[in-house]
C-alpha cells in the first residue's frame, strides 16, 4: 500500500467497497473509519504507525474515495453503519479496536448500538455524534443539492477544494489537498459529492445520541483544539454522555487531526489502545443483529 491503493473489494448493500489492510495478519486488529468528505487516505500516516503492532483495516465507505459511486446510491449514515457491521463479519473480527473520525464516528456508534457490532475499545476523533451538526454551507448544499450538481466542473472543483481545505487548522499540503479533492471530480465524483451531503440526515444521530450512556466499551475522545467544523466543546459534552470516556485535546489541530497533528494523535491512540482493557465489550442490551 505504498501508494495507498485499496486492493480488496467487498460487495455491500450500498455498492462495492474498496478496502485494504496493513501489518501482519493475526496481530491485534484495528479498524479505521474516515469521515466526510474524505476517504481512508487521511489515515495513511497513523495507519502505518499502528501497523507495527497491529493488523490495521482501512476502507472507503460506499460513495467515497475509491469505492463505488452511483446514481441513486444510499450513502446515508444508516446505510454506512449496516455496511460497517457487515464488513466486520466479512473480516471475521469479533471485538476489534475501532478508531473513527467525523462521520465515521456516527457510523461506528450506530453499528454498535443498533446492529450489535462489538468493539474491545473505541476511539472517536472529532466525531459527528451530537446534534445540531452541519455548517451553514453544508446545510445550504443539502437543501439545494440538485442545483449544485449542475455547477460547471471548474467552479465545482474550486468549491470542493476550498471546502476541504477549511478542515485543516494550519492548512493542507497542496498535494494532499489534490488527493482529497480528486474523487469528487468528473462525471461520477461531482454528483457523488452532493449526494452524500443531501443524505446527511441529522435524524440518524438523533436516533442514538440518547443511548450513549449504554456504551460500556472503553472510549477515548480526541478533539482538535482549532476545529472550526465541530466546536471542541462538543467533545466535552460527548465525554460526559459516555461512561468513563476520556477526552484528549490535540493542540494545533483543526478538524482533520490526522493531517494536522498525526504524531500527537498516534501517540494518544497508542497509549489508549495498548492500555489493558479488561472489560469485555458486551453486546448492547436490545441491539439487533445485522
Residue 285 confidence (pLDDT): 35
- Per-residue DSSP letter, 60: P
Residue 262 confidence (pLDDT): 97
Is the link from the previous residue into 132 a cis peptide, with omega within 30 of 0?
A: yes
Is residue 121 within 8 A of residue 219, CB to CB? The reply is yes
Residue 275 confidence (pLDDT): 79
**d(C-alpha 53, C-alpha 39), whole Å:** 23
The pTM for the full model equals 0.92
Q: In which element (H, E) is residue 207 found?
A: helix 203-209
Residue 144 confidence (pLDDT): 85
Task: Determine the longest span between alpha carbons in the chain, in angstroms.
Answer: 55
> What Å distances lie between residue 217 and 32, 106, 123, 150, 213, CA to CA?
16, 15, 10, 44, 11
Residue 286 confidence (pLDDT): 37
Burial class (CB in 10 A: 0-12, 13-18, 19+), 96: buried
Name the grid cell of 1. 500500500
Strand extents, DSSP E, 132-285: 219-224, 246-250
Residue 280 confidence (pLDDT): 39
Name the grid cell of 160. 470542493
Residue 274 confidence (pLDDT): 82
Residue 289 confidence (pLDDT): 33
> What Å distances lie between residue 189 and 186, 228, 272, CA to CA?
5, 25, 36
Task: State which residues of the chain have pLDDT below 50.
Answer: 278-290
Amino acid at each position: 500500500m505504498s501508494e495507498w491503493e485499496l486492493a480488496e473489494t467487498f460487495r455491500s448493500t450500498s455498492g462495492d467497497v474498496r478496502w485494504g489492510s496493513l501489518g501482519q495478519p493475526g496481530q491485534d486488529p484495528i479498524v479505521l473509519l474516515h469521515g466526510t468528505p474524505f476517504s481512508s487516505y487521511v489515515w495513511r500516516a497513523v495507519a502505518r504507525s499502528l501497523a507495527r503492532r497491529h493488523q490495521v483495516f482501512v476502507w472507503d465507505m460506499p460513495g467515497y474515495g475509491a469505492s463505488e459511486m452511483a446514481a441513486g446510491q444510499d450513502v446515508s449514515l444508516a446505510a454506512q453503519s449496516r455496511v460497517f457491521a457487515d464488513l466486520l463479519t466479512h473480516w471475521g473480527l469479533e471485538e476489534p479496536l475501532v478508531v473513527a473520525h467525523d462521520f465515521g464516528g456516527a457510523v461506528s456508534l450506530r453499528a454498535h448500538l443498533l446492529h450489535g457490532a462489538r468493539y474491545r475499545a473505541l476511539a472517536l476523533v472529532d466525531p459527528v455524534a451530537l446534534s445540531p451538526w452541519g455548517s451553514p454551507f453544508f446545510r445550504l448544499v443539502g437543501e439545494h443539492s440538485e442545483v449544485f450538481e449542475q455547477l460547471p466542473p471548474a467552479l465545482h472543483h474550486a468549491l470542493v477544494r476550498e471546502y476541504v481545505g477549511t478542515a485543516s487548522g494550519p492548512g493542507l499540503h497542496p498535494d494532499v489537498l489534490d488527493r482529497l479533492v480528486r474523487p469528487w471530480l468528473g462525471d461520477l465524483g461531482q454528483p457523488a459529492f452532493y449526494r452524500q451531503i443531501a443524505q446527511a440526515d441529522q435524524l440518524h444521530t438523533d436516533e442514538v445520541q440518547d443511548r450513549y450512556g449504554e456504551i460500556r466499551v472503553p472510549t477515548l475522545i480526541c478533539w482538535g483544539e482549532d476545529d472550526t467544523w465541530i466546536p471542541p466543546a462538543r467533545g466535552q459534552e460527548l465525554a460526559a454522555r459516555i461512561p468513563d470516556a476520556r477526552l484528549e485535546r490535540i493542540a494545533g489541530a483543526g478538524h482533520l487531526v490526522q493531517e494536522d497533528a498525526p504524531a500527537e494523535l498516534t501517540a494518544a491512540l497508542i497509549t489508549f489502545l495498548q492500555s489493558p482493557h479488561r472489560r469485555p465489550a458486551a453486546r448492547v442490551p436490545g441491539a439487533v443483529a445485522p
